Structure formats: structure tokens, C-alpha cells
Amino acid sequence: MADSPDQSEITLKGIPASEGIAYGRAFVFTQSDVEVPHYQVDAEKRIDEVARFDHALVLTRQQIAKIQAEVEENIGPEEARIFDAHLMVLEDQALITETIREFETTGLNIETCFNKISSRYIKAFSEIDDEYLRERASDIRDVAQRVLQNLLGQSDTSLSKLAGERIVVANDISPSDSAGLDRSTALAVVTDSGSRTSHAVIVARSMKVPAIVGMRDLTQRVRNGDWAIVDGYEGTVILNPTDSTLVRYGKIQEQKRNLEQQLMGANREPAVTLDGAKVALMANIEKVDEIRLVQDFNAEGVGLFRTEYLYLDSSRIPTEAEQTLAYRQVAAALAPNPVIIRTLDLGGDKPMAGNPHLFPKENNPFMGFRAIRFCLEHTDIFKDQLRAILAASAHGNIRLMYPMISGTEELARANALLDECKAELKARGTPFNAKLTVGTMIEIPSAAVTSDILAEKCGFFSIGTNDLIQYLLAIDRVNDRIAHLYEPTHPAVVRTLRQIIDAAHKKKINVSVCGEMAGDPVLVPLLLGLGVDALSMTPPLIPAVRFLIRGMKLGAAKKLADKALKLSDPKAIYALCAEFYREHMRLR
């Protein structure tokens, strides 16, 4: 409890990011940006200035390699791969070349030039809608700060020497700082900003340390040494907890441990309802090195391979051979399970920082030049990817999926290019699966409305609920002022889902959901009741969904969906789903 008896208990809410409950004293961690000097460099010293930049890059590379080795030894090889992205930033020739060009043009000190160019890259990535890809901005910011510190001869701060067990409270925590977390002293991680996919959160999850992000102003409300409870399940921080609160959380912690044991036990079993309905549970991945996660969480393949990460991890377009290798590795490792590869969803809110000429600035990138629209204009880039997917299809059960399809015309143009690629590979003598199954994402209202027509020309549908809900409700889900209006249980959403699913099943094709709804156990029964055949989600979400499915009947889920379709209030529909969830998620 708090030292001072006049301090009352305060409960604050954030976004749960790593499960668990912790109790202890707070440590407020602050790290300000490097103050960059601004001055002209004499002409005779310009060669030395570039040499100074080169030396700082080498030193930074050595420091990051050392951190990576320590993380691999103390936490694990997968977590150490976080720093591959940092090392790639230091090898980014576009970033380095643009910095030197800025220096040669302006004659300003190299710190100023590097700060300007790296800030431009950080801004580009921070504006990306995809949460996972937006974290690339943190990688660049972290590396940039370290380079600037080395240029200025400053030492970096560290979390590696906490004075005893502490709950770390910060505005945000960089990947380098998170690497310094010691599992013996870091009880929990709580940040004002950040996201569930930040590297600090990834490290916290690996260490089994509770984490909460998006607390807004906690660093202003807590003092060093304050007692706090961190509930990583609900995203709650309780300052100055009373004795009764401590007792209550002790019981909650025990219940959560029991539930987690049951979830992991059930995850070894098939996802079959009590009345015998089989549900395919698949994984969403971005990188080849996530194969182990797919296997560890017993996913039945990959329902969404976001291939744009291959492009955003580099300042250049990956070659056809590089892409073929990546797709083949995933397909071969997971065969005979399917791997659904989504073609490039670049452009608009996901520009490649090193290729600004490909991505003109747009006022409304969410509805702009992105995904299939970008690919159909840049057919050379698109065909490289299509040939790579085709070539990899000879090594596993690959399926291909187009994003952001708005109607049959785009689908026909994409398939025509696919046919050209098949002919080209056949002429080369490169083997591929000539019967490769081709499907489409349904994430634009026009595609939903014409789903009966699209179903005639597709092998399957995958509903991207994140964008579909955003477009249906005209809600920018990353806009804090209106994010509360983003409601997956809005009647328009529920009715649209039923329309898509019915259209697909009439043409005897399967429907999966790969958006956030698929990994939400409260909403899963509604999706299954509406007729969804498969669910694809972030691998760690699979155990809870599997556990729920094994304790419910599909017949009951269908009745739930029928009731939901008759309701007009989004909150009433959600309450109906929440009640169903509570009834079927009891410990068994």
C-alpha cells in the first residue's frame, strides 16, 4: 500500500498488452530526446565530418550487436531478432546517402543532417495505419537516438540497474531500453503511449512480465516509490491499493493461473464444438521467423501472410528470388497445412520510406493509392511477387489472396497478370502449382455488396473486418476523438457479414475472418453463428478461442446470431455476445 495513509486508491485504465498481475513500487523512467546542435562546418573539415558519421555508424552497430547477443543469451533467439531491424536501419543506403547528400548541399553539421533525414523516415512510418508496421518508426527512432548520442559523445540511459523490484512506468520504452529489462527486478511495464506490438511489449511477453500501454498521463500521476497493482489482463493500474483490493487481486491471480493452464491444455486438442462442428484456427503472420509461433500455438496453417513487411523492412524492393525463398520457407515448414499469402498491401498509409517517388503524398491515404490499386499500376513489381508466390507453391499448400478488391474488374485484371506469370514460369521450366487457389479479401463495402458476383470468380473469401468496419461506419479507427464509434457489433456490420457469408456459401466457397474480430473470444460465437468457416488471428490468441469453441455448441451460436440480427443497438448486440461468452468460458 502507499506509505501515506491520506492517499486514496486510484484506478486508471489503459490497453492490456501482456497478461499477468504485478504488485510493487513504481519506478518512473524518463528519457528525453538528444539535443542536436546546429552549425556550419568549415569546407576544409568536411571530409572529417563524414568520417565522424561513419565512425558513429560503426560504433552504433557494435553496441546493437552487443545488445542483441545479450538478449539472445538472457531471453531467447526470437527476441534477439528484434534487433535485426535495427541493424538493417544502419545498413539502409538510402538513409545514409540522403544524410550525406544533405550535408554536402547545406554544409550543416552531420548531426543536424542525420536528424532531419531520420525524422522524415520516422514520420513516414509513424503514419502507417497498421499497428505492427507502425512500430518500425520506433526502430528508426531508437537507432537514430543512439547514432546521435555517439556523434555527440553522450552515454545512453539504461533500465538494466533497477534498485530492487519495480514496476517500470514510462512515456514509452525504446527497444534498446527494453532489452535492458531484468526479469528479476522488472515486475511490470506500463507506458503512456506505445502499442500492443511495440518491442518493449514483445520483450515483456517473452519474460512473462505484465504490460499495459496507452495510459496517457500515468507518468504525471505516479511518483517513484508509489505502490501499485498492474493488471495486464484488463489493462488496469491501481495506485495506492487498499487491503481489500490486494486480497481481491490475490484471488483473481489464482483464477487466471488456473484458466491459463486449462487454455494451454485445451490448445493441444482440435477446435471442435460440442455438437461436432470443426472450426479451422489459423495464424496471421508478417515474417518468416514467425513459423515457430504458428507451430507452438497449434495453428492449422497461415490465414494471412502480410507480405508488405518484406518491403518495409528494406529501403529497396525485394527481388523475385528473395521473395520466393521467404514464401517457400513458410510453405515448406507448415505443409500440408495451407498458407494464404496476401499480395502486396503497400501504398497510401504504408509507403516505403526509401522510395518516395512510388508513393505521392495523399490527403486521404486510407482510400487512396494502395494495395491492389498500386499493384495494377506498377505491374513490374506486382508480377515479380506473383511469380515468386507461384514458384513457392511447388513446395507446399500455398493459396493466393488479393487485398482491397472493390469489384470484378480489378479481380479480372489481377488474374490476367497471374496468367501471364504462369506462362512465363512455364517457359522458364520453373515448376508451380497450376491449380493454385485464388481468393480475395472482402474489406471494401462495394466488394461486400457485390460478394455474390465475386464469389463466382473466387476460390475463397477472407473478410478483413478491420478495414471493412472502418469503411462501413466511416470511422478512422486510429483517431482518438472518434475511435469509440468503431463498433464491430454495429447492425450494419453484422448484416454485412451475413450477406458476404451467404453469398460465398451459395457458390460453395469457404469464408474466413482475419481481422481483429477473429481473435476476440467475445465475438467469435457471433462469427461462427453467422456461418464463418475459419478464423485467423495472432498466434497467442488461439488458445482462448479454441477453449471457447470446445465448450460451446454451433447450434447455440446460430441462435445468438439470429437474435443479434434482430437488434438495432450495437451495445445490446455486444451485451448479448458478452453474456454468451461468460456462460461458455467457465473453467471446466
Confidence of residue 22 (pLDDT cuts 50, 70, 90): very high
Residue type, 357: H
pLDDT at 354 over 60: no
Catalytic residue among 113, 421, 458, 514: 514
Alpha helix (H) residue ranges in 463-553: 465-473, 491-506, 524-530, 542-550
| CA separation for the pair 281, 542 (Å, rounded) | 7
User: Per the structure block, which three cell numbers stand in for 388?
Assistant: 515468386
Confidence of residue 315 (pLDDT cuts 50, 70, 90): low
**Spatial contact of 217 and 198, defined as CB atoms under 8 Å apart:** no
Once rounded to an integer, what is the mean pLDDT over residues 455-460?
96
Q: Name which CATH class applies to 43-151.
A: mainly alpha
| CA separation for the pair 39, 112 (Å, rounded) | 8
Whose cell is 524492393? That residue is: 317
- The most confident of the ranges 270-279, 308-317, 351-360 is 270-279
All structural domains of the chain with their residue ranges: 10-31+157-241, 43-151, 263-470+510-584
Residue type, 538: T
| CA separation for the pair 198, 579 (Å, rounded) | 32
- The most confident of the ranges 242-251, 365-374, 441-450 is 441-450
| CA separation for the pair 415, 421 (Å, rounded) | 10
| CA separation for the pair 472, 15 (Å, rounded) | 25
Whose cell is 475472418? That residue is: 513
Convert the pLDDT of each residue in 83-115 to its tens digit.
Answer: 887 888 888 888 899 999 999 999 999 999 999
**Spatial contact of 137 and 313, defined as CB atoms under 8 Å apart:** no
DSSP character string of 155-180: PPP-STT-SSSEEEEES---HHHHHT
The whole model's pTM is what?
Answer: 0.70
Convert the pLDDT of each residue in 166-214 to its tens digit.
Answer: 899 988 887 667 766 776 788 999 998 877 666 677 777 777 789 998 8
164-178, 240-254, 552-566, range with the lowest pLDDT:
164-178
- Counting residues of the chain whose pLDDT is more than 70, the rounded percentage is 86
* Comparison of pLDDT for 358 and 425, the residue scoring more: 425
- From the candidate CATH numbers 3.30.360.10, 3.90.180.10, 3.50.50.60, 3.20.20.60, the one assigned to the domain spanning 263-470+510-584: 3.20.20.60
| CA separation for the pair 324, 345 (Å, rounded) | 17
Q: Is 488 helix (H, G, I), strand (E, B) or coil?
A: coil
Please report the pLDDT score of residue 474 as a whole number: 86
Please report the pLDDT score of residue 570 as a whole number: 94
Adjacent-strand bridge partners of 169: 28, 190
- Write the DSSP symbol of residue 307: T
**Fold match flag (10-31+157-241 vs 43-151):** no
Convert the pLDDT of each residue in 372-400 to its tens digit.
Answer: 998 999 899 999 999 999 999 999 999 99
CATH homologous superfamily, domain 10-31+157-241: Phosphohistidine domain (3.50.30.10)
pLDDT at 477 over 60: no
Catalytic residue among 86, 113, 199, 577: 199
Confidence of residue 495 (pLDDT cuts 50, 70, 90): very high
| CA separation for the pair 519, 541 (Å, rounded) | 6
Active site residue 584: no
User: Per the structure block, which three cell numbers stand in for 228?
Assistant: 501499485
Active site residue 577: no
- Write the DSSP symbol of residue 160: T
Please report the pLDDT score of residue 369 as a whole number: 64
Confidence of residue 260 (pLDDT cuts 50, 70, 90): confident
Convert the pLDDT of each residue in 503-517 to its tens digit.
Answer: 999 999 999 999 889
- Mean pLDDT (the chain, rounded): 87
